[in-house]
Structure 1
Amino acid sequence: MSLKMLSGTPQKLGAQPDEGGVNFGVFSENSSKIEVCLFSREDRSEIARFSLPERTGPIWHGYLAGLPVGALYGYRAHGTYAPENGHRFNPNKLLLDPYTREIEGTWSNALQVFGYDPASSALDLSFDSHDSAPFVPKSVVSDPSRFAPVGNHPGHPWEETFIYETHVKGMTKEHPGIQEALRGTYEALASEPVLEHLQALGVTAVEIMPVHAFVDDSFLLDKGLSNYWGYNTVGFFAAEPRYFGPQGIAGFREMVRRFHSAGIEVLLDVVFNHTAEGDHRGPTLCFRGLDNASYYRLINGQRRYYVNDTGCGNTVNVSHPQVLRLVMDSLRYWVTVMGIDGFRFDLATTLGRENHGFDPGGSFFDVLRQDPVLAGVKLIAEPWDIGPGGYRLGEFTPEFAEWNDTARDTIRRFWRGDAHSAQELGARLLGSAETFDRNGRRAWSSINFVSSHDGFTLNDVTSYAKRHNEPNLENNQDGHGANYSDNCGVEGRTDDPDILARRKRRQRNLLATVFLCQGTPMLLAGDEIGNSQHGNNNAYCQDNPIGWINWNEADADLLAFVQKLSAFRAAHCAVRQAYFLHAARRPSDGLPDVEWWDLEGKPLNWRDPGLSSLCLLVRYAAEAPSFKDECDTVFVVFNRDTQRAHVSLPPKPEGMVWIHSLDTANPSGGDALPLADGHLWVEGKSVNALILGKAQSSML
């Protein structure tokens, strides 16, 4: 083919093809030259190299006439190699295009990918002249006709949202209903068996763990492990190829389309806080080689080293205008082209860090809030990082919901029997209003869960008192130390029927509490069928049965109960309100929107140090702009005591009756039971929920 390099335009970043060729644009304000290298599809050898002829501001650009779509390429950046000053340019290292939509090939755990000589006593201050091209994947000039927008967003309101956190491979690798050749792929995640499972659960949104192209850490590969979770991103636009099925990238888009057709939104867990290049000892794969001093936050006065607010070796410098543009362009791409409905931002505090520290009014949040493309998508923050002042629960802007680890810990502590946890549970049941009810935020801001990918599964919360992460080969020192878990009598697996019954009751109680809290419930994939990771609370490197869902040992009874919980929540808007409840009296009838009782029907004594059981009466919120007649009143009884208890039900209006609808001690109970005498017996260690409904004539 005949190729000619022209000046091109700086307005298009990445490789943008048209009928005559490809425009290349790449940001690098500190380099002296950028080259585009082309590679053969047959043997991946380098076949041509062109310097980008123009620089407009910090953007290098050129138009390569005659280059077809599908071409393989990479960048080489020339400039100063002075790590002590923050610059690590090394043209011997082939660099991924930060804007590439596709990558082809795999990353190799080879010494050639390092910009320095790992054997040198000078470490990263040394310079390595080996070519890394044979050991890294190539960027692909994508055919724009393959990326027509995916539409039909379900658009569920936040207060009707039920999130299911899952992993592409872990969800499907051992699913017996999926053909074996398809398991572990994007197509498998939206296959008919999975869709039927999620629809039966009442799931409205799947939150998929990272699918941006990522790299396996060399220290894991050296131990025969891998970065299974994927929180080690290197490509913000490219879908991870290891999950490709027979359709390749088209399979990802088909996955999204199928989820949407089933009425399920797709949320992506995204990692913009750090990259796979690690600290000063890490490889040179993309950003480090293009412009290390711009893409990363470096330590003032010691620019050889990286600010490490993430615990992963480096911190992306999102406050830099061009880096911020990269992140925003990525988010818009996934929404407009790939059809994504929202994002969960890993270590979101890092994205709000300015030079003076965390700032909810920082540049990232300001740009995000005014962006018209992103105005309608769901935004979720993991509201912490490990940097100074990194824990920021409740401090994000009103557009965000936040993972509420306080709710997780409180619910676990309450059912474990910890002292004073009943008082704390009261706040969590009302959506942690003391944390989130500010600046016009809504009750859905609190994402409530009892387990997530990071920590014990629900089964393991009730089966292990300590973590068992020995398979991670880190001397069992990794993962959470404070799990607020309880093995119910025996550590790990057991055949003791009493212990098993105790664990199953505890699991139902934990789940029922999550679904009856104000806020947004989130369920970890596999918890609904009792999946275990055998006590591993940090299975980030376990791409094996430890990290995969065990469908063959599914607990059908637990699954049926979770379906029942979800259906109850969907049917009764009193437990999923948009507005916070503060016991204010409603203008419509003068009744408070929330009341607390003890088991005897008396006002609850919150100062009782031995408080272990409580009753909650919830009505439609007083501060809601209009009254909803169809919003049932719900009465919930949390009895943590071991003994069966007699509960006095609240007074009911004329012609109404309390209907017993949920009981964790009798999860497979039949139809809802109307109660005519105003009393209810509840078993010990149980959750019961009742609704106020119209009495039949025979009940009056």
Structure 2
Amino acid sequence: MTPLGATVTPEGIRFAVWSSSARRLWVSLFDGQGNRELDRLELQSEGEGMHALFVPGLAAGTRYGFRADGDYAPDRGLWFDPDKLLTDPYAVEIDRPYAYHWRLAARRNEGADTAPLMPKTVAKTLPKTVPALPPLFRPGGLIYEVPVRAFTKLHPDIPEAQRGTIAALAHPVIIEHLQRLGVSAVELMPVTASIDERHLPPLGLGNAWGYNPVTFMALDPRLAPGGLEELRDTVAALRKASIGTILDLVFNHTGESDRLGPTLSLRGLDNQAYYRHQPDGRLVNDTGTGNTVACDHPVVRDMVLDTLRHFVRHTGVDGFRFDLAPVLGRVDGAFDPTAPLLEAITGDPVLADRVLIAEPWDVGPDGYQLGNFPPRFLEWNDRYRDDARRFWRGDAGAVGALATRLAGSSDIFGKAGQAASRTVNFIAAHDGMTLADIVAYERKHNAANGEQNRDGHNDNLSWNNGAEGETDSAAIANARFDDQCALLATLFASRGTIMLTAGDEFGRSQKGNNNAYAQDNAITWLDWAGRDQVLERYASVLGMLRRAVPALSATDFLTGQSADATGTPDVAWLTETGMPLAETDWNDPARHRLVMLLGDAGGDRLAVMINGDRRQCVFTLPEREGFRWQPAIEMQAIELARPLPGRSVHFMAEHRTERWRSGFGQSDASKK
């Protein structure tokens, strides 16, 4: 089968595109600046929807786009219009960012040629494939979610020309920060080229997150001005520092949106095939964005697989996170964990060892599929997020749910005899309130988004310590600091993979905005100069502890049984008095304290003491002859200039007496 896209050879370029419904297809060739159309050449049908043409004399760097003609009947899902210049679905580079203009959505014969408004696809000779090295990331590690532009846009130590780009992630100051936290892999929010939703430009806003792609392979020139090589080199630099790279990819919808949206690529080539439709011809909207990619179509399935292989072969990424992943598993509209695309991804030789992470929900029928993806997939666990927030908010009866989440969520991921958790635990992500805002705002504050505060979730399971948004009171500031420490400690003490969103380790705030996708400005740009460095040091200490104690990052489910000859149970759940939690304790709505006592293969134990009450509490831990308890974290490391709070998480390590280091913390088993 002819490779799709533009294949550059020493003799010229072969252009190929697929459409089952177009009657005629052309390639438009442009000058070196992509401004003037030089020629329009008709492609030839090669059967089974394939259209191709070899053009001698062309070389890498040629700028082009496709055009298609056929029936124009939007009510039947037919949008052919030769005045619409279309991006090659297999584009690997475009010459400028997308910019929304109303003419891109004009009906046939109602608008002029859109070529002046569209980026041009750049024919490219791909770099050599990178060595096929195994991924650095392993389940149980720390994923650091990064919005590439916002992450370094205000960083004072990054050269100004590099701020907000993929290359900035390879800067030594960034790598040092990631290493201090103990990051196993960065997860880059979408870096492929996207377009603003049509309602944003009139509001003076722009999409800051990138979850609105046009095609799937071409990087956004604003994020990667150095093209594919920039991503490859950054992945290599991070790998040299023992940090993996995961790409967040969007295959569930495109920026062509609903029937009022622009015609940019797939819609103009074969709308009926590339997108799912209702029987009456209306677009299916399982994504909430206006359209849904038909991932059960063989051509789409091949395009997704080709995209994943492309990034593995040419950049060496560790793996992928899939936005609204149930769409990838929908067959005739219904989710199926054995869907052809999911099975093709998990069975592909190039992808065989790559990290796969599902966001296991969409907004379509039966769209919540947490725990139901194939075993190769890790899954974002929003049940963890919600139960952790409920506990620290002080909800009654939340202690049992918290213990289940700390232990790896076997109720969700222990199906069919699975022995290891596939959870990705997180307290906050890009979508929703930041960690700092969870403890400062009881309600969302999204007025800046221009939708009268109607957008975004209303149930944030958040709270405010004091007046909404107030920061002047030292007591309020201390209470919010304590709560952030408690949330971070809970996350780092949780079984399985954990995820931290960039900046939450030093108190980033979006002023209560829980849907800041449209804020490409100081609302989302990380304030490095004003960061909370004490909180940041605490997060780094937690990262050190997690790396030092394998029981924290293990993924096998806790059983309460001994895993070796020492007879030390892998976990015991205790009250603050050191006694096993009774059934009445688990069901006590007033209980806000517990101890998770973890045992390791060598017989050592770690006590995670959780006090969800504002009142201080003395925790008593069980003694063993020949062992001593000592603080697992030297609290002086975070320079707290006040007594330890009651509402907090503390860690005590139990070691054999001969390993006791005199003067390191307390020698008794109590901790206030």
Q: TM-score, normalised by structure 2?
A: 0.94
Among candidates 203, 221, 234, match of residue 255 of structure 1: 234
Distance 2:112 2:659 in 1: 87
Among candidates 358, 382, 407, match of residue 381 of structure 1: 358
Instruction: Say which SS state the counterpart of residue 239 (structure 1) adopts.
Output: coil
Counterpart residue number, 1:189? 169
Does residue 563 of structure 1 match 2:547? no
CA offset at residue 257 of structure 1?
Answer: 1.6
Counterpart residue number, 1:678? none
Q: After superposition, where does 1:657-696 map in structure 2 within 5 Å?
A: 657-662=628-633, 667-668=638-639, 683-696=645-658
Distance 1:667 1:478 in 2: 38
Does residue 201 of structure 1 match 2:195? no
Contact 1:383 1:391 in 2 (8 A): yes
Among candidates 124, 127, 132, match of residue 142 of structure 1: 124
Among candidates 341, 347, 361, match of residue 318 of structure 2: 341
Counterpart residue number, 1:131? 113
Q: What CA deviation, in whole Å up to 9, does each residue of 1:523-559 have, x standing for no partner? A: 1101111111111111101010001001111111111
Q: What CA deviation, in whole Å up to 9, does each residue of 1:163-218 have, x standing for no partner? A: 10011111101001112122111211221111111111111100011011111122
Does residue 13 of structure 1 match 2:4? yes
Q: After superposition, where does 1:278-297 map in structure 2 within 5 Å?
A: 278-297=257-276
Does residue 593 of structure 1 match 2:573? no
Q: After superposition, where does 1:207-246 map in structure 2 within 5 Å?
A: 207-245=187-225
Does residue 82 of structure 1 match 2:73? yes
CA offset at residue 261 of structure 1?
Answer: 1.3
Among candidates 315, 320, 329, match of residue 292 of structure 2: 315
Distance 2:163 2:290 in 1: 33
Distance 1:356 1:529 in 2: 42
Distance 1:402 1:618 in 2: 24
Counterpart residue number, 1:6? none
Does residue 459 of structure 1 match 2:431? no
Instruction: Say which SS state the counterpart of residue 379 (structure 1) adopts.
Output: strand
Q: What CA deviation, in whole Å up to 9, does each residue of 1:109-159 have, x standing for no partner? A: 333312516xxxxxxxxx536211111111111023xx1223475733524
Does residue 505 of structure 1 match 2:482? yes
Contact 1:205 1:265 in 2 (8 A): yes
Among candidates 295, 308, 322, match of residue 331 of structure 1: 308
CA offset at residue 356 of structure 1?
Answer: 5.3
Kindly tell me: are residues 682 and 554 of structure 1, through their superposed partners in 2, closer, same or farther at Cα, counting changes over 3 Å? closer
Identity of aligned residues (%): 42
Instruction: Say which SS state the counterpart of residue 233 (structure 1) adopts.
Output: coil
Kindly tell me: are residues 292 and 406 of structure 1, through their superposed partners in 2, closer, same or farther at Cα, counting changes over 3 Å? same
Q: Report the AA paired with residue 171 of structure 1.
A: F
Contact 1:639 1:683 in 2 (8 A): no
Distance 1:66 1:441 in 2: 57
Q: What CA deviation, in whole Å up to 9, does each residue of 1:452-492 have, x standing for no partner? A: 11011111111111111111011011111111111111211
Distance 1:600 1:15 in 2: 69
Kindly tell me: are residues 432 and 160 of structure 1, through their superposed partners in 2, closer, same or farther at Cα, counting changes over 3 Å? closer
Q: What CA deviation, in whole Å up to 9, does each residue of 1:610-641 have, x standing for no partner? A: 21111111224xxxxxxx43x74211111122
Q: Report the AA paired with residue 322 of structure 1.
A: V
Distance 1:568 1:451 in 2: 21
Contact 1:215 1:232 in 2 (8 A): yes
Does residue 427 of structure 1 match 2:426? no
Q: Report the AA paired with residue 693 of structure 1.
A: H
Kindly tell me: are residues 115 and 669 of structure 1, through their superposed partners in 2, closer, same or farther at Cα, counting changes over 3 Å? closer
Q: TM-score, normalised by structure 1?
A: 0.91
Q: Report the AA paired with residue 124 of structure 2.
A: S
Contact 2:180 2:543 in 1 (8 A): no
After alignment, is 606-615 or 436-445 more displaced? 436-445
Kindly tell me: are residues 350 and 664 of structure 1, through their superposed partners in 2, closer, same or farther at Cα, counting changes over 3 Å? farther
Contact 2:142 2:497 in 1 (8 A): yes
CA offset at residue 265 of structure 1?
Answer: 0.6
Instruction: Say which SS state the counterpart of residue 554 (structure 2) adopts.
Output: coil
Among candidates 591, 597, 601, match of residue 617 of structure 1: 597
Does residue 366 of structure 1 match 2:357? no
Instruction: Say which SS state the counterpart of residue 253 (structure 1) adopts.
Output: helix
Kindly tell me: are residues 668 and 547 of structure 1, through their superposed partners in 2, closer, same or farther at Cα, counting changes over 3 Å? same
Instruction: Say which SS state the counterpart of residue 618 (structure 2) adopts.
Output: strand
Q: Report the AA paired with residue 218 of structure 1.
A: R
Counterpart residue number, 2:507? 530
Instruction: Say which SS state the counterpart of residue 158 (structure 1) adopts.
Output: coil
Instruction: Say which SS state the counterpart of residue 214 (structure 1) adopts.
Output: coil
Among candidates 418, 423, 435, match of residue 446 of structure 1: 423
Instruction: Say which SS state the counterpart of residue 289 (structure 1) adopts.
Output: helix
Distance 1:261 1:439 in 2: 38
Contact 1:88 1:115 in 2 (8 A): no
Counterpart residue number, 1:676? none
Instruction: Say which SS state the counterpart of residue 357 (structure 2) adopts.
Output: strand
Distance 1:66 1:325 in 2: 30
Instruction: Say which SS state the counterpart of residue 218 (structure 2) adopts.
Output: strand
Distance 2:636 2:370 in 1: 34
Contact 1:90 1:115 in 2 (8 A): no
Does residue 639 of structure 1 match 2:616? no
Distance 1:531 1:356 in 2: 39
Kindly tell me: are residues 697 and 691 of structure 1, through their superposed partners in 2, closer, same or farther at Cα, counting changes over 3 Å? closer
Kindly tell me: are residues 527 and 192 of structure 1, through their superposed partners in 2, closer, same or farther at Cα, counting changes over 3 Å? same
Distance 2:488 2:419 in 1: 22
Counterpart residue number, 1:171? 151
Distance 2:497 2:607 in 1: 19
Counterpart residue number, 1:673? none
CA offset at residue 84 of structure 1?
Answer: 2.3
CA offset at residue 43 of structure 1?
Answer: 6.1
Distance 2:628 2:139 in 1: 27
Structure 1 unaligned residues grouped into runs of 5+: 1-9, 118-126, 621-627, 671-680
CA offset at residue 443 of structure 1?
Answer: 4.0
Among candidates 357, 362, 376, match of residue 334 of structure 2: 357
Contact 2:371 2:379 in 1 (8 A): yes
Does residue 49 of structure 1 match 2:40? yes
After alignment, is 182-191 or 496-505 more displaced? 182-191
CA offset at residue 590 of structure 1?
Answer: 3.9
CA offset at residue 441 of structure 1?
Answer: 4.2
Counterpart residue number, 2:670? none
Counterpart residue number, 1:22? 13
Kindly tell me: are residues 651 and 243 of structure 1, through their superposed partners in 2, closer, same or farther at Cα, counting changes over 3 Å? same
Q: What CA deviation, in whole Å up to 9, does each residue of 1:50-82 have, x standing for no partner? A: 111232212111211211111011111111112
Work out the number of aligned pairs and report it: 658
Counterpart residue number, 1:677? none
Contact 1:350 1:358 in 2 (8 A): yes
Counterpart residue number, 1:650? 622
CA offset at residue 688 of structure 1?
Answer: 1.1
Q: Report the AA paired with residue 231 of structure 1.
A: Y
Q: Report the AA paired with residue 65 of structure 1.
A: P
